Every structure is written in C-alpha cells, then in structure tokens.
Amino acid sequence: MQETIEQQPVANYHRHVNYIKIWAILLVLLIVSLIVGMIGYQFFAVWMIFTIAVVKALMVVAYYMHLLWEPKFLWLAVGFAVLCLFFLFLGVVPDILLVKLQLAH
Amino acid sequence: MKFLPENVSTYGGAIDSLGLLITVTVGACLLIAEVVLIAAAIVYRQREGKPASYIQGECWKQLKWIMIPVIIVVLLDCFIDAKTHTTWVLIKGGTPKADQTVRIVAQQYYYSFTLAGADGELDTADDITTINELHVPVDANVIFELEAKDMLHSLWVPALRLKQDALPGRTITGWFNATTPGEYEIACAELCGVGHSAMRATLLVHTTDSFDRWQAEELAPVTSAIEQNATGATP
Amino acid sequence: MDTSDTMTHDVASIPAMSEVPRGRIAMWWLVASEIVIFGGAVCCYLMFRFRHPEWGALAAHTSTPMGALNTLVLLTSSLNMVLAHSAAERQDIRAACRNMIMAMLLGCVFLVVKAIEYTAEIRQGYTITADLFWSFYYLLTGLHALHVIAGVTAIFFVMLSASKRRHLHRVEMAGIYWHLVDIVWLFLFPLLYIAG
Amino acid sequence: MSTHHAAKPGFLGRYVFSTDHKVIGLQYLITGVLMAFIGGYLAYVFRMQLAFPGNSIPGFGELVPQQYNTFVTMHGTIMIFWVAMPVLLAGFGNLLIPLMVGTEDMAFPTLNMLSYWVFFLSTVVLLGSFFVPGSAFAGGWTAYPPLSADGYVGTPFWDGLGGHLWILAVALEFVAFLMGGINFLVTTINMRAPGMKWRRMPIILWMLVIAVLTFVFAVGPLIAGAVMLLLDRTLHTGFYNPAAGGDPILFQHLFWFFGHPEVYVLLLPSLGIICEIISVFSRKPLFGYRAILYSTIVAGVLSFVVWAHHQFIAGIDPRMSSFFSITTIMISIPFAIVIFACIATLWRGSIRLTTPMLFALGAIAEFLIGGVTGIYLGSSALDIYAHDTYFVVAHFHYTLIPVVFFGGLAGIYFWFPKFVGRTTNELLGKVHFWLTTISFNCAFLPLFILGIAGQHRRVFDYSAFPSLMAGELTMLRQIATYAVIVMLAAQILFVVNVVISFLRGPKAENNPWQANTLEWSVASPPPHGNFDPYPAVYRGAYEYSAPGRSEDWWPQDAP
C-alpha cells in the first residue's frame, strides 16, 4: 500500500468516459431488476436483484467516482471497509439466526 | 491459591488446571521478560567511554533474538488454545444426560428456580418453584434452562466455576454437576440496575437422601391436593 | 529502512508527496467511513430480515413504483453531477452550474417523493414503532435522507463558489459524496422495496 | 508562542480558535488531562465506597447505589473517550504529525479546529449530563441494552435525559475524531517532506496512522448501533427488544466490534511514543523497525476478528467462542514481537534513565502484566470463571494505565521542552514516577486476587455476600483504595512540576534530548508554520550511535 502512492503517475486526471452511456446502462439494469422483481420472490430473483445492485454500484464507483483511475491504496480503503462488514456479518449472524428464541411472534 | 473458592463441580477442576497451566507457562515468560527488561535497563546504563552499539535488528541474525522467544510464545499459545478448546467443549459444548432439570429465571433483582422433579419435565404438577434458593442433589447432572425477564443478568456460582449470562428473549441451556453437599453463593455478575448489588441466591447441594426428603416436603401439599381430587372424583 | 537506504546521502529523488489532491483522498476516507456506518446498519437489517421471513409481507406495503422513481431520480442526479465535474474541469462554468442545479433539484425531488411515501405509510399506521421492519425501514431511509439533505447543501455551496470560478476542484469532491448517496440508495431500494 | 508571522491574529485567534496544529494539540491534551482529574475523582469516590461501605466519603458525602452506577459508568466513559482518546490520539497526533512529517500544518487546518470544537462540545454535553434531572447515565460504559434502553418500560423522554445526552456526547466525540482522523491520514499520505519515504517515517507516525485506520473502520457499525439505541430510548422502537423481534445481543456485537479495535486505537499511539523514547534514551536504533511495523499492521487487521472474546459467556454461539478464543490468543504474537523489540532496543545501549525514559520503561514493564493476564481472559474456558470479576478490572487497568497514563506522561515529559519551550524538573519527575508506579501496583495487584476470589463487578456493596466480606478480602479492598488515593495525590507533583516549569523553568534548547526526528530541528516552541525553509529528509529516524560519526545522533534532515 505504501509503495503505490509514490509510483502513481503524476498526470492523474481521469479520462472522462461517456457518462450518458453509463447512465443508460444503469437504467436498463434498473428496469431488468424491476422486471425480475415482478416475476416473483423466488431465490433466483433475489440473487439476480442483488447481483444487479452490486453491478450498478460498481459501475457508479468505477466511472462516476473514478475509482478506476485512483491509486491502489484508495481501493484498499474501500475494500477493507467492505471486508470489515463481512467480518461483522459472519461474526454476528450465528447469534441472530442459529439460536433458540422465545420471540413475540 | 487460598483465595480461590473451593471447587465443587465436576468440570471446575478442568478450569482450575487450565488456570494453573496458563499461570505457569505465561508466568514464566512474564518473569523472564521482566527480568531481562530490568536487567538491561540497569546493566546498560550510560557509562563514560562505552558508546551504544549500532544494532538495527533488520537481518535474521539479529532478529532471531526476538523471533526465538516469539516462537516459544506461539507454541505456548497453541498449547493453551488446545487445552482451552477441550475444556470449553466439555462445559459449554453440549449437555450430558439430565438427572435433574431446572428452569432458572432471572429478573430484577432475584432468581426463581423451577425444579422439574422426578418426571424431568418442566411445567408439570410436580414442579417445585423456589425463590433465591436452588436445591439440587449431589453428583447429579443438573441441566438448567436460563431465562431473563427484564434485563441482562448473569448466573454466577463461583464454587461451581459456572457463569452464564441470561438474556431476555432466549433460553440458554447449560449444565453442572455438584460434587460436595453444602451451601454456596449465587450472584448476578452483569449490571442489571440499581439493585444489582443485592441480587443474591443460595445454591443448596443436598445428599441424595436429604434432597428426596426436601422434595417430598415441598410436594406434600400438591400431592395431598391431587389425592383429594382423586378421592373426590371417584364416587 | 534498509541499510543501503539510510546510509547513502540521497536527497529524495522521489517526491514523497503523492499526486492525488488531498481533498480527494479525504473524500475517499469519508466514503470509507460512511460505508461502515451504512454497511453496519444494513448488516443488522439483513440478519433480522433472514430471521423474520414474515417481513416479506410487510415489505409488500412499501411502494415499489415510488422507490423505482427515486432510483431513477438519484441515478439521473448522479449523471448531472458527473457532467458538472467534467464541465468544471473544462472550465465551462455555465454547464457546471446548470448541471449542479439539476442535481440539486433532483435531490429535492427525491426528498419530496420520500415525504409522500412516508405520509402514505404513516397514514396506513406503519409508523416507526409499528414493527421492527418499519423501524429498520425508517432508520435506513431516514439516515439516507439526512445524507441527501447534506449532499444537496454541500452541492449548493460548491455551486455558489464555482459560479465565481472559485474552488472548481470542489465540484468533484461534492460529486464523490453525491455518488456515495446514490450507491447507498442502489442497495436500499432492493433491500427494502423489491426483494422485501 | 513566538511567531514571526506578518499578520498576527489576536489572542482568541492564536490560543482559542486557532487553526495551528500545535495549539489544537495542546487544547486536546489539556482537555484530556483535566478530564482525567474528573475521572480520577469519580474513582476516588467509588473506591472509598467499596473499602468502607456505608460510610460518608470525605469530599463527597454519602453514596447511593444509583450514584455508584453513574460514577462507575462515567469513570469508564471519561477515561476511555475523554482522556485516552484526546490525549494519545488527538493530542499527540496533532502535535507531532505535521512536525514529524516535515510540513507547516495539517492538511485541513480549519477542519482540524472544527474537530477540537466538536470534541469540546461533546465534553460539555457529557459533563452537563451530570446536572440533568435523574443525573448522568448509569448503564455501564458498555451501555448494554435492555438496561441502557431503560428496559422498554416506556420511560418518558425527559426522565432518561442523562442517557440520551450520553449517547449524543459519544456520537459527537466520534464525529470529532473522524474529522481529526481523516486529517491525520491525508497529512501523512500527502504532506510528507521530500525524502520522507514511508520506510523512513518515525514509527509513531505509523502507529498513529494504523490507529486512525482501525478507528475509522471499526466505529461505523457502532454509530449505526448508537442511533438504534437512541431510537429505542426515545421513540421506543424495538431494535434491541426481543419482545418486538429485536435482539439485545446485537448491540453487544456492535459495541465490541468497535470496542476491541478501540483498545488498539489507544495502545498503538502509546507504543509509538514508547518506541521513540526508548530509542532516543538508549542511543540505539529501534530494534527491528520493519518487524515492528509489520506486526502492528497484522495486529490492526486481526483486531477486527477478536471482538467476541468480550462475550464468551454472554450467550453467543459456543462454536463462535472457540473461534474467537483462538484469534484472541493469537493476537498476542504481534504484540509480543513489538514488546520484545522494545526490550531488544535496550540491549547494549547507553541508557539514560531520564523521567520520560523511566515512564516508558515502566509502561512496558506494567503492560507486560496486563498483556499476560489477557491470556487468562482470552482463553474462553477460563473466562467462564474470570469474566465480570475484578480479574477483568485489574487486567484492563493493567493494560490501559501503562498505555494511557505511563505512555501519555512519558510523551508529555519528553515533548514538554519542545512545545512549551521550557524544561521540566527531573527530580520532581522521578519522584512522580516512583510514587505513581508503586501506588499503581498496590492499587491493582489486589484486584487480581479479589477477582480470583470471585468478587464480581459493578457492585455497590458486598455485604450481601459473606464470602466476599472475609477479613482478608476487605483488607485488600482497603489497600487498593489507599493506594488509589496515593496515586491520585502523586499527580499533584505532576501538576506542580508542569505549572512551575511553564512559568519559570529553564529555557529549553532546540534539541535537548539529542533526538533525530524533524520536530527537534526547529525552535522550541516551534514557530507558526513550523519550518523555514522546508526540511529535506535523508535517512530514517533512528540513526543513533551510527559508526563513523563523532556525535551519537544523526538528525533526519542533516545532509
């Protein structure tokens, strides 16, 4: 992580891509996820919808926020944040889902 | 270790010996580290004409002086982990076959204990409910179902080496087996409000005979009521 | 700190200062800290969503068309913001300000739609205390709405200074934040509306 | 504060609403030290209650159970969040980072000032909560629901005001440290002097950076959790209420997911201070810079997967306990490397036992005890017995006091000449050290024994427990209490030393300790803008006693 900063090229400035094209793709993805949602609530649909959400988010991050052209240590910052959430989820989920409960409903 | 309360449970010995293991191994490491630290600070005091050595500790030849102790620490860690794991599984990993079943309900600021009785089923006629007194027979596997009504509480029996938090909304199952008859303190080890300090109960471990006698005495009114019912019903 | 490095008298041939503008680095750390805040809340929601399958029925009461409309609004608003950024880099102040105004307006549209949704739900009795699902719904969307308000405010001030050709690099900073708000919604929408 | 700046800001601008990192650092430091006295006073009151239950306490009066809970809660909160964090992270971070990386100020000076004032506001809110009806929060510093959520009995808003303010204060504080922390990161990433490569940075900067990263990544879920707790308290939602489908254990997880990394947020800056001081006063390079650095990074990452060792017996899944027990015991390895490297730095050195050095060595010696007793608690099976007893209390005081108190004092004595421009009195400092060390051990060693005897925590009065009222145990509690009083009294020496030195201590040279790092190359105290001209860096920070040089130090900026 430390080395990458120094090795970054001086000319940062990200290329500007065709933002309207990205927007159109995002829109199509939105419509696809809505259609998938209308089919029903099966396992497949849920996975599809969330995969599409992740793809959409990655596109925004990569092209609108220009993470594609940022130094690697910023990727690490975002990546480690997501990794921490993953740790949190894995550590907590057994206690929420695998316990004998006496809940109100 | 005269301050440690006497152990009266079957698994308490395992915890005590784990404590001893850690004390001996880790204590020895601590002692060595402290001695080296203090000795170094004294021996290498500033002296005229004796400059410090230029040691960076970047090459393996120098680093081994810390890496060898670290490897020893790693080995001790593994050893402690292994023993910890077996002890933990013994105590919290599951429950043995029940000789007695008891429901423990913790609330501000007392415990109520419901002993399942001879049939081993809770919520039947031969249940005995007591407040702040837990009666169990000696040498019996007692399975408890721990519940909390309002706040977090923690069932804490030092003599049994037993501690388990009680949470509202879930039933936590655990067990113990007391080996010596007598009276022992039960406390609440989790802050549960203003009266936390006064939340105290007693564990009474009976010999088998005296437990049967106590049970019979407690059940006497219930038994007579059932008998009366029975005689009343048959014309 | 290897020996060769410390013993030779090289005056740093490499400039240590990184070439990424400091504001942008700061924005990304802000993004990272927001990810763990929203992510933490979403993790909690997910766990409870798995625990309570019956929430599916409750989630059906959220208005998917409204949510979809809001997704569209935020995506378009993000597009405006990134166009403003590229215009600001071309020193095209008019286009930058126009796009930022559009972004802000769309942000306000988002809030209005949200307010209509809230009103409808509360009218039906789905208040924050009605059920844990609704508690999570208001928590997540409420936190997000606060971020939308903050984002609109930030864009407003950036636009004021940009219109005087000052701090043009801040357009990008505001943009990064605004896209983050957009991304959070991209996840909240399926979580609370579609796959509910 | 001598400044050769053209436009001199007025008194307010220079000392109160200053954007100068040195002033902000001192503001954080002084606020933290003052809060330490409040926290110490609370400790005095409840220690007296424990030693002499039922008696009126000199300087306070009669203590009732509710007040006892409040005091214990506020003692913990203040000492962790309003003393350790501002002193170690914000105080030393602000003072040292720009000077050590060789730049004029933080990356965002205004944000930095804002960070302090948000922190100040949080302090006011926290202290104000003592004076609201119902007094301050009494649910333990860990704030476990349902107790912290008032048990879902529908407490009216105003009756729980102390608790709401507590959450608000902690949240404001987190915001302040997030602002400050992002500033630290950007400054270290972006504003290093030419030649200040990552591998040449003083280790304390690395430690501060890793501490900030740990803080930033760990605090998020707790912020979400705190909002949920506040909603539970005020609107009576059910996030932590099992009757509504929530779960109280969720908060415990969110709390400790932050709470454990938080320990390292405090530990790392302090370890950094200790490393600096030990290297300077042994006149030797820091042993194993890279080993220390990599171990610290490993420890930082590992700290995210150990949190549930605080919950072994809290009703979590027993299989998870096994996992967390292993990771917890494994985290001792990187710290063993760091501590051993510190000890190895002493080896064949030329040690000067000045006051800062004494405090640094004392910190290591005491921290070893704290670290080692952590193994007892990290071992899940033994934790069944030790959890929630005074063994835990003794353990974390043996980690936090060396780290915060000894480490912090070592840093204050070490950098006092630099930032105040006057030197402290060595004799007073040494007496202060020995009194503090001896009384500290007398105060907390007995607590280990009490913990082994089964004395459980957060209890107002043990008279309900005959076994804990045994003569010896009562005596141990009294010894601990007397020792705490001595320890608090010993701090008067520190105050006297600092005040007298500030007023009429001998003027300090630029580099009284003959140290290498960049802050010693400028005037004491450093002028506004720090460097003129900007320094260039030629080597790492630990070139002490380099062979072939007449002097035994070699500043980083000397060609």
- The whole-number pLDDT of residue C11 equals 34
Q: CB within 8 A of D254, min separation 6: which ones?
A: A88, C40, C44, D221, D222, D224, D225
Test D220 with C17 for CB contact under 8 angstroms.
no
Query: b vs e for D522-539, b when ≥16 Cβ sit within 10 Å of the residue's Cβ?
Result: bebbbbbebbeeebbbbb
- The whole-number pLDDT of residue A101 equals 62
Nearest to D382 by CA among A78, B22, B165: B22
Please say if the pLDDT value at position D210 is more than 90. yes
- The whole-number pLDDT of residue A105 equals 38
Residue A38, classified by CB atoms within 10 Å of its CB into exposed (0-12), middle (13-18) or buried (19+), is exposed
Q: Which residues of B fall within a CB distance of 8 Å from A103?
A: 169
- Cα D241 to Cα B75, B130, B196, D21, distances in angstroms: 44, 28, 21, 45
3-state secondary structure labels for all residues of D209-260:
HHHHHHHHHHHHHHHHHHHHHHHHHHCCCCCCCHHHCCCHHHHHHHHHHHHH
Q: Which residues of D fall within a CB distance of 8 Å from C16?
A: 192-197, 537
The model's pLDDT over D385-412, given as tens digits with 9 standing for 90+, comes to 999 999 999 999 999 999 999 999 999 9
C122 touches chain D (CB under 8 A): no
- The whole-number pLDDT of residue D201 equals 94
Please say if the pLDDT value at position A4 is more than 90. no
- The whole-number pLDDT of residue D124 equals 97
| D145 phi/psi in degrees, rounded to 5 | -75, 160
Q: Which residues of A fall within a CB distance of 8 Å from D540?
A: none
Higher pLDDT, B153 or C59: B153
Tell me whether residue D13 is in a domain. no
State which residues form the domain around D37: 18-521
Please say if the pLDDT value at position B162 is more than 60. yes
Q: Average of pLDDT values for B45-55?
A: 88
Test B166 with D151 for CB contact under 8 angstroms.
no
Q: Which residues of D fall within a CB distance of 8 Å from B3?
A: 449-450, 452-453, 472-473
The model's pLDDT over D415-469, given as tens digits with 9 standing for 90+, comes to 999 999 999 999 999 999 999 999 999 999 999 999 999 999 999 999 999 999 9
Please say if the pLDDT value at position B80 is more than 90. yes
- The whole-number pLDDT of residue B229 equals 67
Q: Tell which phi-psi region holds residue A18, choosing left (phi > 0), alpha (psi between -120 and 50) or beta.
A: beta
Please say if the pLDDT value at position C117 is more than 80. yes
C66 touches chain D (CB under 8 A): no
- DSSP H or E segment with residue D436: helix D426-452
Amino acid at C149: I
Please say if the pLDDT value at position C9 is more than 80. no
Q: Searching chain A, which residue's CA lies closest to the CA of residue B148?
A: A102
Rounded percentage of chain D residues whose pLDDT exceeds 90:
83
> Which of C33, C44, C135 is nearest residue D250 as measured by Cβ atoms?
C44
Min Cα–Cα distance to chain B from C9, Å? 18
- The whole-number pLDDT of residue C19 equals 65
Q: Average of pLDDT values for A77-81?
A: 92
3-state secondary structure labels for all residues of D137-173:
CCCCCCCCCCCCCHHHCCCCHHHHHHHHHHHHHHHHH
Tell the CATH topology of B100-229. Immunoglobulin-like (2.60.40)
- The whole-number pLDDT of residue D158 equals 82
Please say if the pLDDT value at position A47 is more than 90. no
- The whole-number pLDDT of residue B93 equals 87
- The whole-number pLDDT of residue A13 equals 58
Please say if the pLDDT value at position C158 is more than 50. yes
Q: Average of pLDDT values for B51-66?
A: 90
Q: In 3-state terms, what secondary structure has residue D507? A: strand
Q: Choose the mutation target among B54, B55, B58 for the interface with C, i.e. most C CBs under 10 Å.
A: B58
B170 touches chain A (CB under 8 A): yes
Task: State the pLDDT confidence band at C56, using cuts at 50, 70 and 90.
Answer: confident
Please say if the pLDDT value at position D83 is more than 60. yes
d(CA D216, CA D109): 20
Q: Average of pLDDT values for D145-150?
A: 87
Nearest to A65 by CA among D180, C32, D485: C32
Q: Average of pLDDT values for D475-490?
A: 96
Report the mean per-residue pLDDT for chain C. Answer: 88
Which range is least confidently modeled, A60-74, D269-283, D440-454?
A60-74
The DSSP call for residue D402 is: I
Q: Cα-Cα-Cα-Cα dihedral of D75, D76, D78, D83, to 10°?
A: 120
Q: CB within 8 A of A94, min separation 6: which ones?
A: D316, D317, D319, D320
Please say if the pLDDT value at position A91 is more than 50. yes
- The whole-number pLDDT of residue C17 equals 52
Q: Searching chain A, which residue's CA lies closest to the CA of residue B172?
A: A100
Please say if the pLDDT value at position B232 is more than 80. no
Where do the structural domains in chain B lie, given as residue ranges?
Answer: 12-44+55-92, 100-229
Which range is least confidently modeled, B114-123, B163-172, D39-48?
B114-123
Please say if the pLDDT value at position B1 is more than 60. no
Q: Which residues of C fall within a CB distance of 8 Å from B58?
A: 1-3
| C21 phi/psi in degrees, rounded to 5 | -60, 140
Tokens 């090289």 map to which residue?
A: C10
Q: Average of pLDDT values for B117-138?
A: 89
By the 8 A CB rule, do B158 and B176 touch? Answer: no
Tell me whether residue D555 is in a domain. no
- The whole-number pLDDT of residue C5 equals 38
Higher pLDDT, D156 or B163: B163
Which range is least confidently modeled, A59-63, B57-61, B69-73, D6-10?
D6-10
Q: Average of pLDDT values for B170-196?
A: 93
Query: b vs e for C147-168, b when ≥16 Cβ sit within 10 Å of the residue's Cβ?
Result: bbeebbebbeebbeebeeeeeb
Task: State the pLDDT confidence band at C183, using cuts at 50, 70 and 90.
Answer: very high
Rounded percentage of chain D residues whose pLDDT exceeds 70:
98
d(CA C95, CA C107): 18
Q: Choose the mutation target among A90, A95, A99, A105 for the interface with D, i.e. most D CBs under 10 Å.
A: A95
3-state secondary structure labels for all residues of chain A:
CHHHHHHCCCCCCCCCCCHHHHHHHHHHHHHHHHHHHHHCCCHHHHHHHHHHHHHHHHHHHHHHCCHHHCCHHHHHHHHHHHHHHHHHHHHHHHHHHCCCECCCC
Domain spanning C20-194: CATH 1.20.120.80: yes
Q: Searching chain A, which residue's CA lies closest to the CA of residue D206?
A: A2
Chains that touch C (3 or more CB pairs under 8 A): A, B, D
Query: b vs e for D214-245, b when ≥16 Cβ sit within 10 Å of the residue's Cβ?
Result: bbbbbbbbbbbbbbbbbbbbbebbbbbbbebb
Q: How many domains does chain D have?
A: 1
Q: In 3-state terms, what secondary structure has residue D430? A: helix
The model's pLDDT over D320-368, given as tens digits with 9 standing for 90+, comes to 999 999 999 899 999 999 999 999 999 999 999 999 999 999 999 999 9
| B233 phi/psi in degrees, rounded to 5 | -75, -35
Test C19 with A9 for CB contact under 8 angstroms.
yes
Min Cα–Cα distance to chain A from B169, Å? 5
Chains that touch B (3 or more CB pairs under 8 A): A, C, D
The model's pLDDT over A92-104, given as tens digits with 9 standing for 90+, comes to 999 888 876 654 4
Task: State the pLDDT confidence band at D101, using cuts at 50, 70 and 90.
Answer: very high
Please say if the pLDDT value at position A6 is more than 70. no
Q: What is the DSSP string of chain B?
A: -TTSPPP-BTTHHHHHHHHHHHHHHHHHHHHHHHHHHHHHHHHTB-BTTBPPP-----SHHHHHHHHHHHHHHHHHHHHHHHHHHHHHHHHHS-----SEEEEEEEETTEEEEEE--TT--SSSTT-EEEESEEEEETT-EEEEEEEESSS-EEEEEGGGTEEEEE-BTB-EEEEEEB-S-EEEEEEE-S--SGGGGG-EEEEEEEPHHHHHHHHHHHHHHHHHHHHHHHHHH--
Where do the structural domains in chain C lie, given as residue ranges?
Answer: 20-194
Q: Which residues of B fall within a CB distance of 8 Å from C3?
A: 56, 58
Amino acid at D22: K
- The whole-number pLDDT of residue D14 equals 80
Report the mean per-residue pLDDT for chain D. Answer: 93
Q: Average of pLDDT values for C24-36?
A: 93
Q: Choose the mutation target among A60, A83, A95, A101 for the interface with C, i.e. most C CBs under 10 Å.
A: A60
